[in-house]
Amino acid sequence: MQNDSIASHSAIATKDFVFQCGRFQLNLNRPHVMGIVNVTPDSFSDGGKYSTVDLAVEHALNLIEEGADILDIGGESTRPGAVPVPLEEELSRVIPLITRLSKACNIPLSIDTYKTEVMRAAIDAGVDLVNDVKALQEEGALEVVAANDQVGVCLMHMQGNPQTMQEDPRYEDVLQEVTVFLQNRLNLAIEHGIDKNRILLDPGFGFGKRTVDNIKLIQELSALQLLGQPLLVGLSRKAVLGKLVGGDEQQRLYAGIAASVISAMKGASFVRVHDVKATVDALKVVSAVS
């Protein structure tokens, strides 16, 4: 009961958090929606749909119209089994898009990458947030983010790597192991000079997790508020939802909305989604009753 009380207090405190996100300061007194813009041929849900700059810009502007608070741009799929792409190819996919969007839209832009050189180029092109599935573990990544004192960062937990992470993930206590990892990465980021008000944490749903692990993390999400940082949750169209409701990626809209609502009510400050308009409407109801 004491832990529940602490978690509740921390969730309330996080609502007063002002997140420094590049050119923007975001007041987290309500849940924010991160719209996904994948410029990849092989992303698990929308691979190839927005593979040109013009198509991606059109999609991004549509997501803004639907109410996205931030856009997450990715040039390399990190779905289970995905093959890494060469640095130059990832750069050629994301930098022209970031350059155009940084001039065309008035919401924060995020780069979904773990590569240090992509982070550096994306920041130079105008992104406001680095969303890293490897939590700045690549050589030089901590230093790149620390050197840009307004840019935000999201540190995510992943067991293994995208190529093998779903082959045989195992945990003795998934909540404890995720918490310890995120605490250690948070501490290291702060030691490198990255202010706490620039840091989000992501438990990494679907990244080296079994269905039982994902469900446990959803159930216990509020416990991660004890780390004192805003949380980002990405469950949109993921396999764990398919395990629960059936159907392919395109048939998980309602399950995704439910996951976003539950996450927000358990303290998530950001939900990363494909279906922006439906999620925005659902979270307006959450905000009204919270």
Active-site residues, by number, are 238, 272
Tokens 């931030």 identify what position? 70
What is the token pair recorded at 269?
């400050």
DSSP string, 12-43: HHHTT-EEEETTEEEE-SS-EEEEEEE--S--
Residue 7, both tokens:
């978690």
Please tell me the distance from the alpha carbon of residue 201 to that of residue 268, in angstroms, as a whole number.
10
| Cβ atoms within 10 Å, residue 23 | 15
Are β-strands 152-156 and 129-132 bridged in parallel, bridged antiparallel, or unpaired? Answer: parallel
Which residues, including other chains, have CB under 8 Å from residue 262's CB and lie 6 or more apart? Answer: 218, 221
CA distance 126 to 88: 18
Number of separate helices (H) and strands (E) present in the chain: 10, 10
Residue 188 burial by Cβ neighbours in a 10 Å radius (0-12, 13-18, 19+): middle
Question: Of the candidates 40, 18, 38, which has an alpha carbon nearest to the alpha carbon of residue 29?
Answer: 18
How many angstroms separate the CA atoms of 62 and 2, rounded?
A: 45
For the CA atoms of the chain, what is the radius of gyration? 17
